[in-house]
Structure 1
Amino acid sequence: MTVKMTKSFQGRFVTGSFPGTGRTTWRVTQQSRSVRTEVTNLVNLPAVLVTGPPASGKTVLARAVARSLNAALFDQDVLTRPLTAVVAGLLGTDDLDDPRLALSTRAARYETLFDAAADNLAIGNPVVLVAPFTAERRDPLALRRVADRFAAFGGKTTLVWLRATPDLLRERMSGRSAARDRAKLADLAAFLDRVDLAPPTVPHLAVSAAAAPADQVRLVRDHLDAAGPPRQ
């Protein structure tokens, strides 16, 4: 698949090699004042969606997998927290789990996440995404829409689910003492009763949240390697 972009700069021929993903070629040709940049993309690039219950270790695993794959990492909270906080202020709440806030911002937050990932796939970068993916892990059509969107840029989507027990979540939330957990810790039993610990109803790779990070990464890499390496 080829993506073409036009920019105004002095051009040259460049061949870039991306560790862990094979080879992506940049062909730049001079056209009077403009330069046409032609990027030949890989297919089968990993697009890993990491999800699980709160405090299951999503961010830790996603960072480790991204490092292992030399991939771009996109955490929904990091990408969208500043603007979400603005909307929360307009709604008069500081609770990021407030249903009004979730309804007002969900679509925009996921669009931001998916757009950033698609842009990176388009230039040959594997991607790792972190988010609850509530709809995608319950609705096959929702996951298919994401997979098709990424496939258009050479991505192959894998959903990774961190499997956790209530006892593990209780221990993790109590130990990390994060500001976002204060309301949950105030009535932890009630919060855990509301948490959906059931595995996704769509194809996914289950990883134990209690396992060592190195073992978790090894399981993800083995799964991705079984699907075959990126290719042109």
Structure 2
Amino acid sequence: MHREEIGLTLEDTGEKLREIAERHGFKIAANFQTIWGHEKGSVYPGPHYRRAYCRLYRRNEAQLGFRKALPGEDAPVESVPVPASAERKLPDQSDAVRKALSSIREGTDDVDSEALLNRVVNAWSSTAGASTDGPPMILVGGYAGSGKSEFAKFLGRLTGWPILDKDSLTRPLVDQLLVSLGGEAHDRSSKLYLEKVRPLEYRCLMEAAWDNLDCGIPVILDAPFVKEFSQADWMQRLQNRCRSKRVSVATIWVKCDIESMREYIEFRGAARDAWKMEAWEEYAAGLNVEFRPQGPHFVVDNRLGAAVALVDEARDVLSGGGL
């Protein structure tokens, strides 16, 4: 229905989807047989296809019928015929950015999401005046597959602030360290990893962050932070150290539903996730979807991929993507 409204053939649609895939780094082939299978309902599109369809048709997944709408999210829309030759105007860039950032909500009463949003937008637009505030440290945490890395990268692109990803910084060393200690390279669930290796991973991450902050350079930290965020004393020490260095700190927790996390973990097929998939019921039983960090924090609601979809939209607008 949406394809015909904008006058696209199956071949045209495949070409547009491949352009979108290249722009966003989606892994899809987008041949007309697959698209026809999606339209007939004989094949259900995977996460990257769904995100590409959302960008092509300017609709979210709920509006395209892939899932139910979240509370407060736009309801499914009725078909409105659009002439084949009509060009659909892209949203204003600032509006798209603010819309994507609006998924950051106050998790506690002592934080100000509007202030954080304005700081990020100002950094992106390069219109902010001189500030007496110190460099910001943003910690983006969440369970595996929750969408935290997507959101951290979005913040990094908007602001130009460096992203320190725990896995990117430490994975090769961690894999070799586990092997040297008699474990398996991709193990992330054993006592050996949790007690001997994991603390070193996070120490490396935090030390790299402080090196940047000491030079006045903002940082965005991308890691699960589940253990750290659950410890009030760890959080308080972080706040104290930031205060002593005149660093403003923002803790963001990306929440997601179990099934969406499983889909994304299965989709990425990372070796470090092998145990999770083999013992999913055991792993999932240890997840608390209602988990929230101790102390001041923000929450991004990425249940059913809703927040990441807004990020895709904003990224598309910023790149000038259109039909």
- TM-score in terms of structure 1 length: 0.70
Gaps of 5+ in 2: 1-123, 314-323
Please say which structure displays the higher CA radius of gyration. Answer: 2
Q: Partner residue of 1:101?
A: 193
Q: How far apart in 2 are the matches of 1:207 and 1:217?
A: 15
Gaps of 5+ in 1: 1-17, 25-41, 219-232
Instruction: Check the 8 A contact 2:164/2:220 in 1, yes or no.
Output: yes
Q: Partner residue of 2:264?
A: 172
4+ residue runs of structure 1 moved beyond 6 angstroms? Answer: none
Per the alignment, in what secondary structure is the counterpart of residue 74 of structure 1? strand
Q: Partner residue of 2:210?
A: 118
Instruction: Check the 8 A contact 1:20/1:69 in 2, yes or no.
Output: no
Cα distance change, pair 136–182 in 1 and its aligned pair in 2 (3 A): closer
Q: How far apart in 2 are the matches of 1:151 and 1:22?
A: 22
Per the alignment, in what secondary structure is the counterpart of residue 197 of structure 2? helix
Q: Partner residue of 1:49?
A: 139
- TM-score in terms of structure 2 length: 0.52
Deviation at 1:21, TM superposition (A): 7.0
Q: How far apart in 1 are the matches of 2:144 and 2:167?
A: 12
> RMSD of the TM alignment (CA)?
2.7
Q: How far apart in 1 are the matches of 2:246 and 2:229?
A: 22
Deviation at 1:216, TM superposition (A): 6.0
Q: Deviations over 1:116-142 (max 9, x none)?
A: 111111222111001222333112221
Instruction: Check the 8 A contact 2:251/2:297 in 1, yes or no.
Output: yes
Find the partner of 1:64 among 151, 154, 171: 154
Q: Partner residue of 2:224?
A: 132
Instruction: Check the 8 A contact 2:161/2:220 in 1, yes or no.
Output: yes
Cα distance change, pair 215–153 in 1 and its aligned pair in 2 (3 A): farther
Instruction: Check the 8 A contact 2:138/2:251 in 1, yes or no.
Output: yes
Per the alignment, in what secondary structure is the counterpart of residue 212 of structure 1? helix
Q: Check if 1:90 corresponds to 2:180.
A: yes
Q: Partner residue of 1:191?
A: 283
Find the partner of 2:167 among 72, 77, 87: 77
Deviation at 1:217, TM superposition (A): 10
Q: How far apart in 1 are the matches of 2:310 and 2:171?
A: 30
Instruction: Check the 8 A contact 1:118/1:150 in 2, yes or no.
Output: no
Deviation at 1:51, TM superposition (A): 0.6
Deviation at 1:50, TM superposition (A): 0.6
Taking every aligned residue pair, what percent have the same amino acid on both sides? 29
Higher helix share: 2
Cα distance change, pair 137–80 in 1 and its aligned pair in 2 (3 A): same
Deviation at 1:108, TM superposition (A): 2.2
Q: How far apart in 1 are the matches of 2:191 and 2:288?
A: 16
Find the partner of 1:212 among 288, 295, 307: 307
Cα distance change, pair 174–110 in 1 and its aligned pair in 2 (3 A): closer
Cα distance change, pair 20–115 in 1 and its aligned pair in 2 (3 A): farther
Deviation at 1:167, TM superposition (A): 1.4
Deviation at 1:201, TM superposition (A): 4.3
Find the partner of 2:235 among 143, 151, 154: 143
In structure 2, give the amino acid aligned to 1:96: R
Q: How far apart in 2 are the matches of 1:79 and 1:104?
A: 17
In structure 2, give the amino acid aligned to 1:127: V
Deviation at 1:77, TM superposition (A): 1.3
Q: How far apart in 2 are the matches of 1:217 and 1:47?
A: 24
Per the alignment, in what secondary structure is the counterpart of residue 229 of structure 2? coil
In structure 2, give the amino acid aligned to 1:212: A
In structure 1, give the amino acid aligned to 2:177: V
- Count of residue pairs the alignment pairs up: 185
Higher strand share: 1
Q: How far apart in 2 are the matches of 1:93 and 1:74?
A: 26
Q: Partner residue of 2:95?
A: none
Q: How far apart in 1 are the matches of 2:155 and 2:312?
A: 6
